[in-house]
Amino acid sequence: MALWRGSAYAGFLALAVGCVFLLEPELPGSALRSLWSSLCLGPAPAPPGPVSPEGRLAAAWDALIVRPVRRWRRVAVGVNACVDVVLSGVKLLQALGLSPGNGKDHSILHSRNDLEEAFIHFMGKGAAAERFFSDKETFHDIAQVASEFPGAQHYVGGNAALIGQKFAANSDLKVVTSISDIPTGIPVHLELASMTNRELMSSIVHQQVFPAVTSLGLNEQELLFLTQSASGPHSSLSSWNGVPDVGMVSDILFWILKEHGRSKSRASDLTRIHFHTLVYHILATVDGHWANQLAAVAAGARVAGTQACATETIDTSRVSLRAPQEFMTSHSEAGSRIVLNPNKPVVEWHREGISFHFTPVLVCKDPIRTVGLGDAISAEGLFYSEVHPHY
């Protein structure tokens, strides 16, 4: 009798739920779970899928990242290649006979002690930096010690070489020696590197380079130095205090495109900037020139996690979500307050004909390789970008 009663209850429940779906197909899942519990048959099974914020964010990225309708067919890269030697910076200083001291930034390195002070300075800030070494012989000696250090790894390096590697399997690839080699009307991407000469940076912004390029990639150090050199927004800031403020970054990106980007009254091709820092990325574009940027910014952030951890896909046990949970989209005007949602990881906002796409990064807890990560991010973002036909 008990078995029959249980079967009857189950049959009645199936009939009732079927009627509910027929009459109210949009009824929320919470109501169905409540119905299930009220019949004393135990809690409804939890819906499948990742539970952690990192897992939900990675799954959302996978759903958002789609190939553009119009793909790149031919890609030209500049002559910029080297060998990256990867090893522990602390162990290198020890091998050079240097002991930890006080950190100090140097715009140009002249000696081993300058290298030690600059390393400690930027290590304390958790920031990457590049500096020119003026003494050829000393630099050669340091490079040889690094290259021969036990366990040192050697990789292809250089912006053009790394970006070229990404496109080589999917496009016709051509090597060019300068921007002047590229025919008029072809979109050009420039990946900035660390600089210390403000006069040169100002010249790049106002005269030499920005008007000739279509797309720009840069990190937080390069962005701040750029605005300091050209007297842009927040240029009085001497350095970022931890994670770069999203609103400040957004203001600077807006200023670059508004003051130096393409417009009806300005002979400039610049319409896109891909900004990347450790915990988040922003793609800013002039409206009407680019498509698929939601997928592009997500793809760039995803590759940051996979390449740093040396995995094919995001391993949620090895990454963490460290982006600000809420932020303002601007500090120079009345911006919007955004609250981060891992289920909808790409946030979009607009300002005077310029669109912004923001996404957090799943930061690798124990990174294997970070050298060339910025180039991989920009290359992945470009690979998923679609430029409109008027180029």
CATH code at position 178:
3.40.1190
- 144 and 164 together in one domain: no
- 243 and 184 together in one domain: yes
User: What pLDDT does residue 225 have?
Assistant: 92
In degrees and rounded to multiples of 5, residue 350 shows phi and psi of: -130, 150
- 277 and 181 together in one domain: yes
- 241 and 118 together in one domain: no
Q: Is the pLDDT of residue 101 over 90?
A: no
30 lies in some domain: no
Q: Is the pLDDT of residue 317 over 90?
A: yes
- 64 and 190 together in one domain: yes
Instruction: Fill in the DSSP letter of residue 172.
Output: E
**CA-to-CA distance for 179 and 181, rounded, in angstroms?**
5
State the residue range of the domain holding 68.
57-83+158-387
Paired with 217 in beta bridges are 191, 274
User: What pLDDT does residue 165 have?
Assistant: 84
User: What pLDDT does residue 273 have?
Assistant: 97
Tally of CA atoms within 13 A in the half-sphere of 122 that contains its CB = 17
Give me the active site residues, please: 375
- 76 and 196 together in one domain: yes
Given 151, 170, 197, the domain boundary residue is 151
- 348 and 235 together in one domain: yes
- 93 and 185 together in one domain: no
- Residue range 208-236, pLDDT digits in tens: 688 888 999 999 999 999 999 999 999 99
Given 105, 125, 151, the domain boundary residue is 151
Q: Rounded to whole angstroms, what are the CA distances from 301 to 99, 110, 294, 314, 325?
A: 36, 36, 11, 11, 17
- 122 and 266 together in one domain: no
Q: How many residues comprise the chain?
A: 391
Spatial CB neighbours of 239, under 8 Å, sequence gap ≥ 6: 125, 224
Instruction: Fill in the DSSP letter of residue 95.
Output: H
How far does Cα 312 stand from its chain's mean position? 17
6 lies in some domain: no
230 contacts 224 by C-beta, under 8 angstroms = no
**CA-to-CA distance for 315 and 231, rounded, in angstroms?**
42
- Residue range 119-172, pLDDT digits in tens: 999 888 777 788 899 999 999 999 999 999 999 999 888 888 888 888 887 787
pLDDT higher at 176 or 310: 310
**222-235 burial, b for 16+ CB within 10 Å, e for fewer?**
bbbbbbbbbebbbb
102 lies in some domain: yes
User: Is the alpha carbon torsion for 256, 259, 260, 265 positive or negative?
Assistant: positive
- 96 and 75 together in one domain: no
- 199 and 317 together in one domain: yes
User: What pLDDT does residue 4 have?
Assistant: 39
171 lies in some domain: yes
- 78 and 98 together in one domain: no
Burial of 347 (0-12, 13-18, 19+ CB in 10 A): buried
82 contacts 158 by C-beta, under 8 angstroms = yes
Across all residues in the chain, what is the average pLDDT? 85
50 lies in some domain: no
Spatial CB neighbours of 373, under 8 Å, sequence gap ≥ 6: 304, 307, 308
Q: How many domains does the chain have?
A: 2
Given 151, 170, 199, the domain boundary residue is 151
Residue-by-residue DSSP string for 342-384: TTS--EEEEETTEEEEEEE-EEESS-S--TTHHHHHHHHHHHT
Q: Per the structure block, which two tokens stand in for 322?
A: 């460290």
**CA-to-CA distance for 90 and 338, rounded, in angstroms?**
39
Q: Is the pLDDT of residue 2 over 50?
A: no
User: Is the alpha carbon torsion for 54, 58, 60, 64 positive or negative?
Assistant: positive
287 lies in some domain: yes
- Residue range 13-57, pLDDT digits in tens: 333 334 333 344 444 444 445 543 444 444 555 556 668 999 999
Q: Per the structure block, which two tokens stand in for 309?
A: 């951890």
Only one residue has tokens 């952030």, namely: 301
194 lies in some domain: yes
4 lies in some domain: no
